[in-house]
């Protein structure tokens, strides 16, 4: 229990988590306190995190939580994934969190899930150590949540595939070494059977980072627009079977959305703790603001809803680890968590008063970072349609 705020410092259910999970949470929390919190403001100003941080994560085994021991991984499951995401969210530096989570759970995981043994042996060990940073390149100027609508093309030419097109809003886009890129290989096929995934290496001729993007939040996470002009990719870099890219993307969306939900609840928890501590110190009208019943009760209700959402995330992770189909639940989580974190941030900024509007305050930065949670990884409206299909 946190003596200052009264919030529990860990939310592990003994039914869903074991001692290994609790040790992992403690280790990540110590890492955040030592390696992220003291430097986050400088990284925000710089617009990127140092590669050395990724390598430190690799040294401690965080980048291979779900991967086999043979390549340096820990062979854990979705429960460990949500712990990793939640603790990074609690850091209050969500740009750091998303940079790491894209690498571990949205990009390199495609190589693990769909790659050949040769591809895994070639690329994954350095992904686990942090020597190699990855990005996932699906979104385009005209296609985001609608993966079938992408327009980037790939045509076979001898021993190569030639890619033409553009990708937008790509996290780690500037600094990545490997890009898992979705392109249409058969425009005449059904949309769901026309997309293929490729691993594109940084120095591929014809591939360029068009520009780094200036974002509202996630300031220390680099985001880019990518360009492919007759970019020649070896046929050996095709990821999975031709025409199966859409299904691979959809398959990992479930993991991605679970992770984003856990990250959002970590952010929400940190915001509530910060706000309660502030209200107990900030005096107005002769007493701490915490003495105002309306404020206390509003935050208490938000805390209850955050805890309910967190427990849904935990139970869904446990079910996913057991091999169950959790598409419905994960879609619910992404919609609920993305909206809830923004509601939490709105009220926390409000209760900070004028300080909540100042760039020097943590809660101001957190509120900007949270805004994209209802957009990225599947907009709320898209998620609710996925839920509705299953009602």
CATH of the domain at 108: 1.10.540.10
- For residue 28, what are the domain limits? 19-133
- Clarify whether residues 111 and 60 are in a common domain: yes
Q: What is the CATH number of the domain that holds 240?
A: 2.40.110.10
159 found inside a domain: yes
- Clarify whether residues 64 and 145 are in a common domain: no
105 found inside a domain: yes
Q: How many domains does the chain have?
A: 3
| Active-site residue flag, 267 | no
- Clarify whether residues 313 and 266 are in a common domain: yes
Residue 178 has a pLDDT of: 98
Residue for token pair 């020097």: 360
Residue 142 has a pLDDT of: 78
Residue 8 has a pLDDT of: 47
Residue 4 has a pLDDT of: 42
Residue 5 has a pLDDT of: 43
Which residues in the chain come in under a pLDDT of 70?
A: 1-15, 144-145
Query: Using CA atoms, how far apart are residues 391 and 381, in angstroms rounded to an integer?
Result: 15
Query: Using CA atoms, how far apart are residues 389 and 34, in angstroms rounded to an integer?
Result: 45
Among 244, 261, 279, the domain boundary falls at 244
DSSP state of 303: H
Among 102, 133, 164, the domain boundary falls at 133
End-to-end CA distance of the chain: 39
The catalytically annotated residue of 256, 273, 364, 386 is: 256
- Clarify whether residues 148 and 97 are in a common domain: no
4 found inside a domain: no
pTM for this predicted structure: 0.93
Mapping DSSP to helix (H, G, I), strand (E, B) and coil, where does residue 386 land? helix
6 found inside a domain: no
- Clarify whether residues 224 and 309 are in a common domain: no
Q: What is the CATH number of the domain that holds 360?
A: 1.20.140.10
Tell me phi and psi for residue 195, to 5 degrees: -100, 135
- Clarify whether residues 320 and 379 are in a common domain: yes
The DSSP annotation for 68-94 comes to: -GGGT-----HHHHHHHHHHHHHTS-H
Residue 212 has a pLDDT of: 94
- Clarify whether residues 193 and 183 are in a common domain: yes
Residue 11 has a pLDDT of: 58
165 found inside a domain: yes
Residue 191 has a pLDDT of: 82
* Nearest of 145, 167, 388, 182 to residue 257 by alpha carbon: 145
Write the pLDDT tens digit of every residue in 254-289: 999 999 999 999 999 999 999 999 999 999 889 999
* Nearest of 224, 231, 177, 235 to residue 204 by alpha carbon: 231
């Amino acid at each position: 229990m946190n003596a200052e705020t009264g919030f529990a410092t860990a939310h592990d259910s003994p039914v869903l988590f074991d001692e290994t999970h609790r040790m992992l949470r403690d280790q990540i929390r110590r890492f955040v306190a030592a390696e992220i919190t003291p430097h986050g403001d400088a990284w925000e100003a710089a617009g990127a995190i140092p590669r050395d941080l990724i390598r430190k994560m690799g040294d401690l085994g965080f980048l291979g939580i779900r991967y086999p021991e043979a390549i340096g991984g820990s062979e854990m499951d979705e429960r460990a994934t949500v712990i990793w995401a939640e603790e990074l969210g609690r850091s209050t530096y969500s740009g750091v969190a998303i940079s790491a989570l894209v690498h571990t759970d949205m990009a390199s995981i495609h190589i693990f899930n769909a790659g050949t043994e040769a591809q895994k042996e070639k690329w994954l060990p350095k992904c686990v150590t942090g020597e190699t940073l990855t990005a996932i390149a699906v979104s385009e100027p005209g296609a985001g949540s609608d993966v079938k609508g992408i327009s980037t093309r790939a045509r076979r030419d001898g021993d190569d595939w030639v890619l033409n097109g553009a990708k937008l809003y790509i996290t780690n886009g500037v600094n990545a070494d490997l890009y898992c890129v979705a392109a249409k290989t058969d425009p005449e096929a059904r949309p769901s059977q026309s997309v293929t995934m490729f691993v594109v290496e940084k120095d591929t001729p014809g591939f360029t980072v068009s520009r780094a993007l200036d974002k509202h939040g996630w300031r220390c996470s680099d985001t880019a627009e990518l360009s492919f002009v007759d970019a020649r990719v070896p046929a050996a870099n095709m990821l999975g079977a031709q025409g199966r890219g859409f299904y691979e993307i959809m398959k990992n969306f479930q993991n991605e959305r679970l992770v984003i939900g856990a990250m959002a609840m970590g952010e929400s928890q940190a915001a509530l703790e910060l706000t309660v501590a502030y209200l107990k110190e900030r005096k107005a009208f002769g007493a701490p603001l915490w003495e105002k019943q309306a404020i206390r009760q509003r935050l208490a209700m938000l805390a209850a809803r955050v805890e309910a959402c967190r427990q849904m995330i935990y139970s869904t992770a446990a079910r996913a680890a057991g091999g169950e189909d959790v598409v419905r639940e994960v879609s619910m989580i992404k919609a609920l968590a993305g909206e809830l974190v923004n509601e939490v941030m709105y009220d926390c900024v409000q209760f900070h008063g004028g300080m909540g509007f100042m760039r020097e305050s943590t809660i101001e930065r957190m509120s900007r970072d949270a805004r994209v949670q209802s957009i990225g990884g599947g907009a709320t409206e898209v998620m609710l349609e996925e839920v509705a299909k299953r009602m």
